[in-house]
Homo-oligomer: A and B are copies of this chain.
Amino acid sequence: LTENELIALLRASAIDPSARDLMDDAAVLGLGSSQLVLTHDMIVEGVHYLADDPPTDVAWKLLAINLSDLAAKGAKPVGVLLGYMLGDDDWDRAFAEGLRAALSAFRVSLLGGDTVAGGEGRRALGLTAIGTCSASPPSRAGARPGNHLWVTGTIGDSGAGLALLQEQLKGPNELVERYRTPRPRLDAGQSLAPIVNAMMDVSDGLLIDAARMAEASGCSVAIEIESVPLSQAFLSAVGNDRESRFKAITAGDDYELLFAADPQRSSDILALSQSLGLAISRVGGFRPGTGLIVEDGGEQVPLPERLGFEHRS
């Protein structure tokens, strides 16, 4: 089965509204006076990280991609549980030290988990992150026609970093860092959550993730490709033409926040960008109807065949 087919089958088990029909980045569970946010992401060798990525970076990434799901709900991380498949001794030691450093950087405690003997194949590592959030955290389903679409940071760096590691590209090492050690936008998520209508993290590519937000929200979305924020490193390594920009918005692993907001929130958002020292860019808008279009200078342009990663995250 594909991932989507399996999720369709599992939906029969997601009877609690907290599960958000398995459509969201995280489950949101009301518990007494608290709102709990729960997420579990796995990474597989050769799929989500490269076999020769440093184990300290793999530990960082496993934590960061889960914290990114909490960030998308505006949650504050509380702790994590680790599901670890043992490998060779040096790798295990370096991973444990990398996880300690990463948890310490985000001031999060390891709470528990499980370790098992590894198999012969690719290793799979899982992590559950638990956070708390406000009474009504944003889902990905709240965008409305007329809302603006915004994204934090820059897009495409991580995909360019992976291309560098695969020797398909030359460019600054900063791109590799974006691939190996993504920064979950926890502070931005907490500040944005009260003023957005929908929010998610960009993990499979801006284009496909924007399409998912539009679909969940029952509207269509237009991306203004010339407005997609690109880093100097990306521009120098990949370029600034339309093809380069399509590369950026169809690559995965950005772990930036993508959100919908009313136009009258724009000045609040730009002020927040200033105070956080983090670029927040308007990259399009929501419209009535369904579907996804990409515009370049106001003209609609053809969509690429592949919008992003469909069956991977």
**B40 contacts A36, C-beta separation under 8 Å:** no
Give the contact stretch, choosing among A125-133, A140-148, A210-218, A300-308: A125-133
Query: Do A93 and B1 touch (CB < 8 A)?
Result: yes
Measured in the bound complex, the distance between the Cα atoms of B298 and A5 in whole Å is 60
Task: Describe A's contact surface by its main secondary structure.
Answer: mixed
Give, as a whole number of angstroms, the nearest-CB distance from A86 to chain B. 6
Question: B1, B19, B26, B27: which contacts A89 (Cβ < 8 A)?
Answer: B1
Min CB gap A221→B, angstroms: 24
Question: Any chain B CB within 8 A of the CB of A103?
Answer: yes
Determine which of B96, B128, B312 lies in contact with A81 in the assembled complex, contact meaning CB atoms within 8 Å: B128
Q: Are A40 and B121 touching (Cβ within 8 A)? A: no
| A130 & B40 in contact (Cβ 8 Å cutoff) | no
Contact of A112 among B33, B40, B103 (CB under 8 A): B40
Contact between B10 and A96, CB atoms less than 8 A apart: yes
Closest chain B CB from A52 CB (angstroms): 17
Q: Whole-angstrom distance between the alpha carbons of A48 and B117 in the complex?
A: 10
Which residues of chain B are within 8 angstroms of A114 by Cβ–Cβ distance?
40-42, 126, 313
**Contact between B311 and A117 (Cβ–Cβ < 8 Å)?**
yes
Q: Is A34 in the interface zone, CB < 8 Å from B?
A: yes
For residue A24, which residue of chain B has the nearest CB? B112
Contact check, A111 vs B10: say whether CB atoms are below 8 A apart. no
Q: A62-104: contact bitstring with B at CB < 8 Å (1 yes, 0 no)?
A: 0000000000000000110111111001001100110110011
Known A38-B130, A126-B83; judge A9-B93 contact (CB<8 A): yes
| Chain B residue at smallest Cβ distance from A79 | B16
Q: How many residues from A make CB contacts under 8 Å with B?
A: 75
* A120 at interface, CB cutoff 8 A: yes
Q: Is the CB of B111 within 8 A of A27?
A: yes
Over the window 189-219 of chain A, the binary record of Cβ atoms lying under 8 Å from chain B Cβ atoms (1 yes, 0 no) is 0000000000000000000000000000000
Chain B residue numbers with a CB within 8 Å of A32 are 31-34
Question: B121, A18: Cβ atoms under 8 Å?
Answer: no
CB contact list, A36-69 vs B, under 8 A:
36, 38-48
Name the residue among A18, A46, A111 with the largest chain B CB count within 10 angstroms.
A111
Once the chains are docked, how many angstroms separate the CA of A205 from the CA of B287? 61
Q: Which residues of B contact A34 (CB under 8 A)?
A: 31-32, 34
List 22 A-B residue pairs with CB atoms under 8 Å apart, sorted by A's residue number: A3-B115, A6-B92, A7-B115, A9-B92, A13-B110, A14-B109, A14-B110, A16-B111, A19-B112, A26-B112, A27-B111, A27-B112, A31-B31, A31-B78, A34-B34, A38-B128, A40-B82, A47-B117, A81-B128, A83-B126, A116-B124, A116-B312
